[in-house]
A and B are shown apart, each in its own frame.
Chain A
Amino acid sequence: MMSWVIVALILLGTFLMFLAGLGIYRMPDVFTRMHASTKAASLGVGLLLLAASLYFWNMGITTKALTTIAFVFITAPVGAHMLGRAAYLRGACMWEKSVMDEAEGKLKLPKSAGEESSGSEK
């Protein structure tokens, strides 16, 4: 019974991570690619670590797996947020069928970046 649960968790997790790779390959612009990779990959890692903690069935290993799950779930959105902000500020093109851009006029480059770039041009 337990082994079937573990097999199901492994296959679902790998399928989600494969979907993340497929989304990165097929999606049209940076932001949709980020949407595909962050959520699917972190959920896939969570399911795989859950399968590992059920498989080894050991207090220390379960703690380690839960720590890794918590770390990935905390850091993946932070990293994606910073990367998306950097991509937007660098003027990444959006897909031509995008319907709204809520950050338009609200996000601006910090002053130091402008000074650095103008300084390097001279």
Chain B
Amino acid sequence: METSPLIVQAAWLGTTILAAGMFLAFVRLVLGPSLPDRVLAFDALAIMGVGALVLVAIATGHALFLDVALALALITFIGTVALAISLERGISK
């Protein structure tokens, strides 16, 4: 375990930068002209959430957050595939 206040500060700074990127993706989720745009923005938001969980694991020193990140990555993939299939087959009106 390589503890250093520099790494913790870098992790919090990275969380801030990541929050800015998540805000931009969220704006696309709200504005998105078509449904695939929104699904894509949601997918990217979830992947950024995985990254944010990894940064929080580094910043707090709790490795438990990495399990949460792995579970979130698993669930996100299933959600994206399900939404893509329902987009392709057509949504019943």
Partner-B contacts on A (CB < 8 A): 2-3, 6-7, 10-11, 13-15, 17-22, 24-25, 30, 33-34, 37, 41-42, 44-45, 48-49, 51-52, 54-58, 61, 64-65, 67-68, 71-72, 75-76, 78-79, 82-83, 85-87, 89-90, 92, 109-110, 112-113, 116-117, 120
Given contacts A30-B34, A48-B55, A83-B40, contact A18 B17 (CB under 8 A): yes
Q: Which of A3, A14, A19, A79 contacts B51 (CB 8 A)?
A: A14
Residues of A within 8 A of B66 (CB): 49, 52, 61, 64-65, 68
Chain B: minimal CB distance from A86 (Å): 4
**Cβ–Cβ contact A14 & B88, under 8 A:** no
**Cβ–Cβ contact B17 & A15, under 8 A:** yes
How far apart sit A10 and B11, CA to CA, in the bound complex (Å)?
7
Residues of B within 8 A of A15 (CB): 17
**Cβ–Cβ contact B2 & A55, under 8 A:** yes
Of A30, A48, A113, the most chain B CB neighbours within 10 A belong to A48
**Cβ–Cβ contact B57 & A120, under 8 A:** no
Which B residue sits closest to A25, measured CB to CB?
B24
In B35-93, the 8 Å CB interface with A consists of 35-37, 39-41, 43-44, 47-48, 50-51, 54-55, 57-58, 63, 66-67, 69-70, 73-74, 77, 80-81, 83-85, 87-90, 92-93
A-B contact list, 11 entries, CB within 8 Å = A20-B21, A25-B24, A37-B25, A41-B44, A41-B48, A44-B51, A48-B51, A49-B69, A71-B73, A85-B84, A110-B89
Given contacts A24-B44, A67-B70, A86-B36, contact A7 B7 (CB under 8 A): yes
Chain A: minimal CB distance from B25 (Å): 5
Which A residue sits closest to B69, measured CB to CB?
A68
